[in-house]
């Protein structure tokens, strides 16, 4: 199985990096091919130029590579912190530029774009691993957990990936080394179970 792993955190050595490295190592040990992109380390350009927006727009080779990988992946994993109830800007830009028409979704021929898209992604399972510094109860009660809606409803479901899973690890800022080791083990087990 080929699994695409996208990491969006600017600080090497962060717990997000540890999650991504742990999950990638687990899946490689299980015999999967892992395509990893650390967007910040790669200096991914998140700005979507206007001429790239249409389905047949001008798309640079680097973005075409990302598009091919997301289209061909059997599974997708995204690792990022919860910042203001949103993914980091670099990851939002990756979605803008890569989860594009003709790659991740399309509309019926007689649809001018106002209908319900038809998902094109081959992946059947997606896993989003988030870190947070807001306790889960407050996230749910006060903010309504916008990341759940963004990833599940607005992105993966729309693009045809129906088997969606998400795990939030936190509160990271007050966590102990023991907490983090337990969370890494849980992420490893979750990846093994979902991508078997």
In tens, the pLDDT along 8-66 reads: 999 999 999 999 999 999 999 999 999 999 999 999 999 999 999 999 999 999 999 99
Which residue spans within 50-121 are E strands per DSSP? 75-81, 105-106, 118-119
Q: How far apart are CA 178 and CA 182, in angstroms?
A: 6
Is residue 138 predicted with pLDDT exceeding 80?
no
Nearest to 79 by CA among 158, 24, 143: 24
Please tell me the predicted confidence (pLDDT) of residue 59.
97
Is residue 82 predicted with pLDDT exceeding 90?
yes
pTM of the model: 0.95
Is residue 111 predicted with pLDDT exceeding 90?
no
Q: How far apart are CA 28 and CA 34, in angstroms?
A: 7
Q: How far apart are CA 79 and CA 85, in angstroms?
A: 14
Question: Is 4 or 133 the better-scoring residue by pLDDT?
Answer: 4
Please tell me the predicted confidence (pLDDT) of residue 142.
72
Is residue 140 predicted with pLDDT exceeding 90?
no
Is residue 170 predicted with pLDDT exceeding 80?
yes
Domain 2-194 = CATH 3.40.50.360: yes
Domain ranges of the chain: 2-194
Is residue 112 predicted with pLDDT exceeding 80?
no
Q: Which of 2-16, 98-112, 117-131, 169-183 has the lowest mean pLDDT?
A: 98-112
């Amino acid at each position: 199985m080929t699994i695409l792993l996208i990491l969006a955190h600017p600080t090497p050595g962060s717990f997000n990096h540890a999650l991504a490295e742990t999950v990638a190592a687990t899946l490689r040990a299980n015999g999967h091919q892992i395509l990893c992109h650390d967007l910040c380390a790669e200096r991914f350009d998140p700005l979507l130029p206007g001429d790239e927006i249409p389905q047949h727009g001008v798309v640079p080779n680097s973005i075409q590579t990302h598009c091919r990988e997301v289209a061909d992946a059997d599974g997708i994993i995204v690792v990022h912190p919860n910042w203001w109830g949103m993914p980091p800007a670099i990851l939002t830009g990756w979605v803008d530029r890569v989860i594009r028409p003709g790659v991740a979704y399309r509309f019926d021929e007689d649809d001018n774009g106002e209908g319900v898209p038809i998902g094109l992604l081959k992946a059947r399972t997606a896993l989003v691993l988030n870190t947070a510094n807001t306790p889960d109860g407050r996230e749910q009660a006060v903010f309504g957990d916008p990341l759940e809606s963004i990833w599940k409803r607005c992105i993966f479901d729309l693009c045809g990936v129906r088997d969606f899973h998400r795990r939030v690890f936190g509160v990271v800022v007050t966590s102990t080394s023991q907490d983090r080791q337990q969370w890494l083990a849980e992420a490893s087990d979750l990846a093994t179970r979902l991508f078997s």
